[in-house]
Amino acid sequence: MVLEQRNYRVARGPSARGGEIDLVMRDRDGTLVFVEVRQRRSGGHGGAAASVTFAKQRRLVLAAQHYLLRFATLPPCRFDVLALDGDEVEWLQAAFEA
């Protein structure tokens, strides 16, 4: 995969939270991959992957929609989660759908 952008942020308004995408990457097949990186000291309390709540997913989708405005033709997309629990690393492809 090729890194296209890091820490892409979009504001929703002065009092509403926007969204941020940690990594925007392009897969070999042309798929645009929006990656959320989550880190926890341990896997307790559900771990890093479980911390990507529905509200967080909505903010990621909002930021992704804004990022996609730059394209005349939409590329295939997916949302991945890179979960870091202590020394454990797990890359969850297509972790959720928009």
pTM of the predicted protein model: 0.90
Residue 15 confidence (pLDDT): 66
pLDDT more than 70, % of the chain? 92
Where do the structural domains in the chain lie, given as residue ranges? 2-96
- Cβ count within 10 A of residue 32: 18
Residue 18 CA: distances (Å) to CA of 9, 44, 55, 66? 7, 28, 11, 11
13 vs 30, higher pLDDT:
30
Residue 58's pLDDT band (boundaries 50, 70, 90)? very high
Taking only the tens place, the pLDDT of each residue in 81-98 is 999 998 899 999 999 998
92 vs 17, higher pLDDT:
92
Q: Does domain 2-96 bear CATH number 3.40.1350.10?
A: yes
